[in-house]
Amino acid sequence: MTACRIALGVGSTTAYALAGRGELLFPACRVGRQWVVPTAGLRAFLGLPQQESTTPVTS
């Protein structure tokens, strides 16, 4: 819930409530018991440029 503290200035209780209701202003998804916020969606919400991938793509 660090993303919510940084982006929205809210605590963990509010962040979990917003995520559970689908009311976050950026994408988040549930993976098992954890919430995951993709960095691309968070960067877009914050108005930051996207990072270029440094990992080579293999086929």
| Its pTM surpasses 0.75 | no
Q: DSSP letter string over the chain?
A: -HHHHHHH---HHHHHHHHHHT--SS--EEETTEEE--HHHHHHHHTPPPPPP-SPP--
**Is residue 24 domain-resident?**
yes
Phi-psi region of 5 (alpha: psi -120 to 50; beta: other; left: phi over 0): alpha
How many domains does the structure of the chain reveal? 1
Q: Identify the domain containing residue 30 by its residue range.
A: 2-46
Q: What is the pLDDT of residues 28-47, one digit of tens each?
A: 999 999 999 888 888 898 89
Q: What is the pLDDT of residues 15-28, one digit of tens each?
A: 899 999 999 999 99
**Is residue 36 domain-resident?**
yes
31, 20 Cβ separation under 8 angstroms: no
**Is residue 33 domain-resident?**
yes
**Is residue 23 domain-resident?**
yes
